[in-house]
Amino acid sequence: MNMPIEDGNNNLRYAEYVLGVLDADARAEVAHEVLVSGEAATAVALWQRRLMPLADTIGDVTPAPYVWARIHDALQLDAPARVTPRKGLWDNLQLWHWLGIGASALAVALLVVVSLPRPTPTPAVVSAGYMAATIQQDNGSTGWTATMDLQHARMVVVPATPVAFAQDRAPELWLIPAGGKPISVGMIARDKPTTLVLDPALLAQLGPTAALAVSVEPIGGSPTGQPTGAVIAKGAIGTAPNAVGKVADTGRTQGDRILRSLG
Amino acid sequence: MSVSSPAERDELNHLLQQSGRNDQHAFAELYRRTSSKLFGVCLRMLRDRGQAEEVLQEIYATVWRRAASFDAAKASAITWLVTLSRNKAIDRLRQHREEPMEDPSMLDETIDEQPTPAADAETSQEHRRLQHCLDQLEPQQQRSVREAFFTGATYNELATRCKVPLGTMKSWIRRSLMQLRTCLDQ
């Protein structure tokens, strides 16, 4: 056989292997060759270097936290079972866009995740890990969704539909404990996700009896430490329920009570 | 994640090498920094979150076992990881060959993987070079190469999806690959 052609054909097979167009049998053949032949391994590595940059355009998607937990368990690692992806949950715009639409579904999904392994439901909020709230405007449409990561003391607030504000006004987020005064969580963006750090005092107040509300304030925040402008959206915080199906109901009822008292 | 800075590339190389020495913290950090990228790749190819999660789990189990064989002189860690991910995803696709993607709308959706200008600015120099070479191909052939790369489809599946004879698809892809090699190796 003529060497140059042979070289060409083989090289094509390696290229096809890397591109991924070969069927299972042909793939297995090349994979075997790579293991036993240095030449094949080099040719394949070259093609990988040529073609793999295409993957640059594939967007990041943060896997659910339990994936690492499973890997951790399967490999019997000693390192901490929790890993927070650096460009993860909190920065993933795709996820937040999706969240803006399906916040309640997410709240339920998160609660399913956190509550499934627990045979007896614990009222302790801290054990749940995550909490979520849909902050609704008076017209019933979702203004923002908030997801709270208790372990990392963070809250991400995502606008579902940008709300219009006067030029010198901005939305401020408040936590309202049952029977308590609103506590400022921070200023939030009206058109993009905002990540807020929750200090221990705030964290201690988070729970199924608390609610979130958004008021219209001067750009720098309320000058008084209490809401000074109109409350334009509010929502109850959902947490680990006795039964997952009850999440929305229990959460909403308690929240509504608080919100009515807020006026 | 586009690993475009050389410093970041070196860090990932180091983390993968450390993982090869059974350094669990390095492995956890590697996961933290690469799992979103690899999960994106899996999801893109498998189009099923549950399957992508399973494959991602397999990928990192393999990384942990095989990290010692990683040779930074041959490939960067991110290339190594993306390659491994695509291989695992393709293996999974081949196992489930009886359920081909027949939804024609999928083709339109998958065909256009051109980066937006903003995203393009973040991609690596290598990607821009490859893109430049892809742009020299006939539009249909470029689309076939992209479709193949992003969906892990076989020649047969590609031919069906693009409604061309198998021989045509093979010659499109092979010619494209040769042209790409010539262009990239210049």
The span from the CA of A130 to the CA of A66, in Å, is 13
> CB B149 to CB A20 under 8 A?
yes
Q: Name chain A contacts of B175, Cβ cutoff 8 Å.
A: none
Q: Answer for the pair A133, A125: CB distance below 8 angstroms, yes or no.
A: no
Sign of CA dihedral B41, B45, B47, B51: negative
In this structure, the answer to whether residues B153 and B172 fall within a common structural domain is yes
Contact B153 A21 (CB under 8 A): yes
- Measured from the Cβ of residue B166, the count of other Cβ atoms closer than 10 Å reads 13
Same domain, A212 and A236: yes
Separation between Cα atoms, residue B26 and residue A113, nearest integer Å: 27
Range of the domain at A105: 92-262
Do both A189 and A209 map to the same domain? yes
Per-residue model confidence (pLDDT) at position A115: 46
List, in sequence order, every residue forming a beta bridge with A159; answer none if it has no partner: A144
CATH of the domain at A217: 2.60.40
φ, ψ at A148 (rounded to 5°): -110, 125
Say whether both B93 and B177 belong to one domain. Answer: no
CB-hemisphere CA count at 13 Å for B168? 12
Residues 6+ apart with CB under 8 A from B27: A77, A79, B15, B18, B19, B63, B64, B67
For residue A49, the chain B residues in CB contact (below 8 A) are 75, 79, 126
Same domain, A110 and A203: yes
Q: Are residues B13 and B92 part of one domain?
A: yes
- Same domain for B30 and B115, yes or no, is no
For residues A226 and A117, membership in a common domain is answered with: yes
pLDDT of residue A87: 44
B78 lies in the same domain as B150:
no
Using CB atoms, which residue from A52, A71, A92 is nearest to B57? Answer: A71
ipTM above 0.90, yes or no: no
| Residue that wins the pLDDT comparison between A42 and B111 | A42
Which pLDDT score, from 0 to 100, does residue A103 have?
A: 54
Q: Give A70's contacts in chain B (Cβ within 8 Å).
A: 57
User: Which pLDDT does position B88 carry in this prediction?
Assistant: 96
Q: Could you tell me the two tokens for A216?
A: 């219209």
Among residues B60, B76, B99, the one where a domain terminates is B99
Residue A114 and residue A8 share a domain: no
Question: Largest alpha-carbon pair distance within chain B?
Answer: 51
B151 CA: distance to closest CA in chain A (Å):
9
DSSP string, A26-86: HHHHHHHHHHH-HHHHHHHHHHHHHHGGGGGGSPP-PPPHHHHHHHHHHTT--S-S----T
The domain of B17 spans 1-99
By the 8 A CB rule, do A60 and B8 touch?
A: no
- Domains identified in chain B, total number: 2
Backbone angles phi, psi at A62, to 5 degrees: -75, 125
Same domain, yes or no, for A85 and A201?
A: no
Q: Which residues of chain A have pLDDT under 50?
A: 1-6, 85-88, 90-91, 115-128, 240-259, 261-263
Contact: A52, B79; criterion CB under 8 Å:
yes
In terms of domains, do B83 and B136 share one? no
For residue A90, the chain B residue with the least C-alpha distance is B36
Mutation for A interface: B37, B134, B145, B178, most A CBs within 10 A: B37
Same domain for A232 and A207, yes or no, is yes
B184, B150 contact by CB (below 8 A): no
Verify that B134 and B147 share a domain, yes or no: yes
Q: Do both B93 and B115 map to the same domain?
A: no
In chain B, whose CA is at the least distance from the CA of A22? Answer: B154
Place of tokens 């109901």: A249
- Supply A102's token pair: 């399906």
| Per-residue pLDDT, B108 | 41
Instruction: Please give the Cα distance from B67 to B129 (Å, whole number).
Output: 29
Predicted pLDDT of residue A97: 53
CATH code for position B29: 1.10.1740.10
One domain, residues A154 and A26: no
Q: What pLDDT is attached to residue B118? A: 45
* Tokens (6 digits) for A97: 């866009």
Taking the CA of residue A27 and the nearest CA in chain B, the distance in Å comes to 9
Q: Inspect the interface and report whether the beta carbons of A62 and B178 lie closer than 8 Å.
A: no
Q: Are residues A10 and A118 in the same domain?
A: no
For A10-17, the CB contacts below 8 A with 24+ separation are A10/A40, A10/A43, A11/A43, A11/B181, A12/B174, A12/B177, A12/B178, A14/A40, A14/A43, A14/A44, A14/A46, A14/A47, A15/A47, A15/A51, A15/B177, A15/B181, A16/B173, A16/B174, A16/B177, A17/A44, A17/A47
CA B9 to chain centre: 17
Does residue A144 sit in helix, strand or coil?
A: strand
Q: Which residue has the tokens 């090289």?
A: A11
- The answer on B135 and B87 residing in a single domain is no
pLDDT (tens digit per residue) in A75-85: 988 755 555 54
pLDDT in tens, B46-94: 999 999 999 999 999 999 999 999 998 888 999 999 999 999 999 999 9
Compare CB distances from B127 to A53, A78, A83 and report the shortest one's residue.
A53
Q: Do B119 and A23 touch (CB under 8 A)?
A: no
Q: Which two tokens stand for residue A259?
A: 């919100």
Largest CA distance in chain A: 89
**Which of A21, A45, A86 comes nearest B154 by C-beta?**
A21
pLDDT band with cut points at 50, 70 and 90 for residue B147? very high
Nearest chain A residue (CA) to B175: A12
CATH number at residue B173: 1.10.10.10
Residues A158 and A229 in one domain: yes
Q: A213 to chain B, minimum CA–CA distance in Å?
A: 32
Closest CB to B36 among A19, A52, A61: A61
Q: B133 and B93 in one domain?
A: no
Nearest to B177 among A15, A48, A88 (CB): A15
Q: What is the pLDDT of residue A263?
A: 41
In angstroms, what separates the C-alpha of B29 from chain A's closest C-alpha? 8
Residues B152 and B166 in one domain: yes
Are A85 and A96 in the same domain? no
In a mutational test of the A interface, the residue from B35, B125, B183 whose CB has the highest number of chain A CBs within 10 Å is B35
Q: What is the DSSP letter of A243?
A: S
Determine which of B4, B80, B82, B161 to mutate to test the interface with A (most A C-beta atoms within 10 Å): B82
pLDDT at B176: 96
Residue A190 near residue A219, CB atoms below 8 Å: no
Domain end residue (candidates: B71, B99, B127): B99
The number of distinct structural domains making up chain A is: 3
**What pLDDT is stored for residue B132 in this prediction?**
94
DSSP per position, B38-82: HHHHHHHHH--HHHHHHHHHHHHHHHHHHGGG--TTTS-HHHHHH
> Do B85 and B149 belong together in one domain?
no
Task: Identify the three-state secondary structure at position A120.
Answer: coil
- Res. B171: pLDDT tops 90: yes
Among B52, B78, B99, which residue terminates a domain?
A: B99
